[in-house]
């Protein structure tokens, strides 16, 4: 790979990881469509594995930044991280059975549902009031969190997106987390669950390191940048950006799958 291409992938990693860290969803929702577009010859499993490698770099970097900001609820983060492990391993193996168009369609459909859910909840509730809650004041349903985390681990490794796209809304709307605390805690969970998924994909030969490494380097830098920016954004702004961005990507993936059109 030439120098220009390497620098381009590093820059891609910075931008995508910054956006992923801001919304707490990791960069997979952008990396996967980008890899599908530029590398149509890749199998879905390789797209997923390479994306998950970069998402792991993003998540680790963002988590370090959020640790410094003291926004992570560790009791939930550790419990839910462990719950993602079984699903992460199973999802990595199931990814091998997707074909290209089928992967685009189901991934796009999943993103579209999540976009609609987040947008609906955000408009319905308006600006969230619980942002003033402190870490020690928060109570949450551990059973719901564990069940959601098992599903998150599976979908994370299946689609290569990290689990924040599900975990952030679940933490906010099902367990009452303030938005900024949800994105930070989600990033901790993301770092651990994607590490397991990435290892499984690596052992299966699903990672294209020539692309993954420069994107991963950029993601390490972007994770720090995203956490810095997120600290200065309103909760509602983060959620609106998440809903719109995910919706646009979803529609494009469904259209390019040629399953419906």
C-alpha–C-alpha distance, residues 185 and 247, integer Å: 24
**pLDDT number for residue 162:** 67
pLDDT at 205: 92
Instruction: Give the pLDDT confidence score for residue 136 in this predicted structure.
Output: 60
The model carries a pTM of 0.76
DSSP letter assigned to residue 173 = I
- Is-contact 229 117, C-beta < 8 A? no
- Residue 14: the pLDDT is 93
State the distance between the two ends of the chain, measured CA to CA, in whole angstroms.
35
Q: How far apart are CA 28 and CA 52, in angstroms?
A: 7
Q: Taking each helix axis as running N to C, give the angle between helix 142-159 and helix 44-69, from 0 to 180 degrees, rounded to the nearest 10.
A: 140
CA proximity to 54, closest of 86, 15, 91, 80: 15
Q: 35, 51 in Cβ contact below 8 A?
A: yes
d(CA 128, CA 126) in angstroms, rounded, equals 6
Q: What is the mean pLDDT of each run of 10 residues along the chain (261 residues)?
A: 90 88 72 86 90 88 86 91 88 78 84 82 57 64 90 81 77 85 87 86 92 94 85 75 79 81 69
- Model pLDDT, residue 213: 96
Alpha-carbon distance of 196 to 216, in angstroms, equals 16
**DSSP tally for the chain: helices H, then strands E:** 10, 0
| Cα–Cα nearest to 60, from 165, 191, 218 | 191
Torsion of CA 189, 193, 195, 200, to 10 degrees: 180
84 near 189, Cβ under 8 Å? yes
Sequence-distant (≥ 6) Cβ neighbours of residue 125 within 8 angstroms:
none
Ramachandran quadrant class, 207 (left: phi over 0; alpha: psi -120 to 50; beta: rest): beta
């Amino acid at each position: 790979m030439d120098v220009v291409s390497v620098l381009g992938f590093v820059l891609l990693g910075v931008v995508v990881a910054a956006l992923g860290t801001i919304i707490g969803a990791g960069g997979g929702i952008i990396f996967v469509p980008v890899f599908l577009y530029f590398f149509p010859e890749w199998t879905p499993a390789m797209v997923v594995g390479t994306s998950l490698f970069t998402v792991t770099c993003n998540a680790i970097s963002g988590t370090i930044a959020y640790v410094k900001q003291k926004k992570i609820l560790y009791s939930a983060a550790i419990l839910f991280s462990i719950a993602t492990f079984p699903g992460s391993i199973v999802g990595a193996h199931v990814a091998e059975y997707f074909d290209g168009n089928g992967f685009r369609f189901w991934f796009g459909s999943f993103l579209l549902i999540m976009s609609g859910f987040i947008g609906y909840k955000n408009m319905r509730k308006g600006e969230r009031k619980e942002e003033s809650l402190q870490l020690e004041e928060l109570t949450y349903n551990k059973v719901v969190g564990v069940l959601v985390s098992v599903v998150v681990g599976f979908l994370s490794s299946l689609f290569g997106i990290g689990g924040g796209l599900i975990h952030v809304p679940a933490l906010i709307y099902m367990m009452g987390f303030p938005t900024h605390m949800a994105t930070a805690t989600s990033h901790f969970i993301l770092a651990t669950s994607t590490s397991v998924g990435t290892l499984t994909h690596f052992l299966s030969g699903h990672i294209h390191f020539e692309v993954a490494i420069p994107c991963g380097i950029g993601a390490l830098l972007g994770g720090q940048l995203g956490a810095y920016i997120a600290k200065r954004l309103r909760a509602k702004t983060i959620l609106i950006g998440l809903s719109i961005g995910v919706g646009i990507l979803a529609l494009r993936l469904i259209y390019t799958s040629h399953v419906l059109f």
